[in-house]
Amino acid sequence: MAGIVIIGTQWGDEGKGKATDQLGESVDYVVRYSGGNNAGHTIVVNGETYALHLLPSAVLNKNVIPVIGNGVVIDLGVLYEEIDGLLARGIPADRVLVSSNAHIITGYHRVIDKVTEKFLGKRKIGTTGRGVGPAYADKVNRVGIRVQDLFDESILRKKVEASLEQKNALLHKVYNRPAISPEEVSDELLSYAERLRPLMADTSKVLNDGLDAGKVVLFEGAQAHHLDVDFGTYPYVTSSSPIAAGACIGSGVGPTRIDRVIGIAKAYTTRVGEGPFPGELLDEVGEKLRSDGGEFGTTTGRPRRCGWFDALVVQQAARVNALTDLFLTKLDVLTGWEQIPIVVAYDVLGVRHDTMPVSQSDFHHARPIYEYMEGWSEDISTARSFTDLPEAAQVYVKRLEELVGVRISGIGVGPGREQTVMIHDLL
């Protein structure tokens, strides 16, 4: 076993950080390969809670080398705030390696993100306003600022000036906002250079050398399959490729180095931001799921939209990502329900769909068709083996496994690192 990818199979917030941290004791490198600080992981270790946004989750394990790959867009202020916060708690987070090819989120990216979202009004995407989308747009438009640019002041200032020439015209003429000073942006970025220098690396070479030496590399996706810019619920998606294939593009490691793809799914479904959500519960049931599950964004604090487990959503993710395993999180949140529905199909204007509709319009009109499972009332937070779970919980897990078509290898029964039921070895 060498290359392992962990991805979310819903709309994010599935608990990827818990699964990554669970494997952290057994791997040598953990790589973030997509997204920016619009993502977040909450990890609880020995009663201590850690909220991470850019750093890979396994940074909490001192024996693992954390890597930020070329596919990530980095807000350097946020990165160092996160590093300093962990250093203050005794975690040596400054050992992270950062790809020289990773793109940087600047102040003007954040401004454009916010004013564009406001300008869209009812058609807004629901971004976090962190500047992630505009940074990726600059990357594709070939006017982006990369980590390596900070070490050539002349090139950096020319690139910032060229990028702002068009953006300032847009801000002034369309959004009625003042122009942004290229000098101020460049000066801010240059202030990070010396501290960034020892972290910068050819991370593609580092990872490939590690794999050649028999090391285990864990690729940690941000966001999730249904936020992927190609396969997600477009346009309500992120601006990168969090799917398993994106791990190769975002890290510089070839596809033949990937041995296992582990999907993470919450025992119910949540979504943050705008976009279709057929099983969304807009009543007291949804409010209870949100309250019981603590469903508020790690990065933004926004309340998450909640619904029952949607098997069609996870089925599609399993197919596109060729999942080998599924890790089910937050099963404990479902304790106490007399019945637990599962979305097993959709009704789209009177037509039954047993897989996700191919068109966005059909998905928008989809209404859930449920199958009802018996609930359980026993506390499962101390379960450590599958047989420790109540029979009804075991039946629920097995039914999800049948519907999705992927074996469930692990189950989260609480927020703590130790509150995990392992059914199959993930390594």
Q: Are 307 and 280 in contact (CB under 8 A)?
A: yes
From residue 397, give the alpha-carbon distance in Å to each of 179, 379, 402, 423: 55, 16, 9, 11
Nearest to 59 by CA among 19, 31, 37, 38: 31
Q: 3-class DSSP state for residue 352?
A: strand
Cα–Cα distance between 167 and 108 in angstroms, integer? 8
Those residues whose C-beta lies under 8 Å from the C-beta of residue 339, and which sit 6 or more positions away, are: 372, 373, 374, 375
In the chain, the amino acid numbered 12 is G
Chain-centroid distance, C-alpha 410: 19
Token couple for 288: 């209870």
Torsion of CA 53, 404, 351, 348, to 10 degrees: -10
Q: 3-class DSSP state for residue 118?
A: helix
Whether the bond between 303 and the residue before it is cis, its omega within 30 degrees of 0, is: no
| DSSP secondary structure, 112-175, as one string | HHHHHHHHHGGG-----SSSHHHHHHHHHTT---BGGGGG-HHHHHHHHHHHHHHHHHHHHHTS
- Please give the positions annotated as active site: 13, 41
Torsion of CA 29, 30, 34, 40, to 10 degrees: -160
Q: 3-class DSSP state for residue 236?
A: coil
Length of the chain, in residues? 427
Burial group, residue 225, by CB count within 10 angstroms (0-12, 13-18, 19+): buried
Q: 3-class DSSP state for residue 344?
A: strand
Cα–Cα distance between 203 and 27 in angstroms, integer? 17
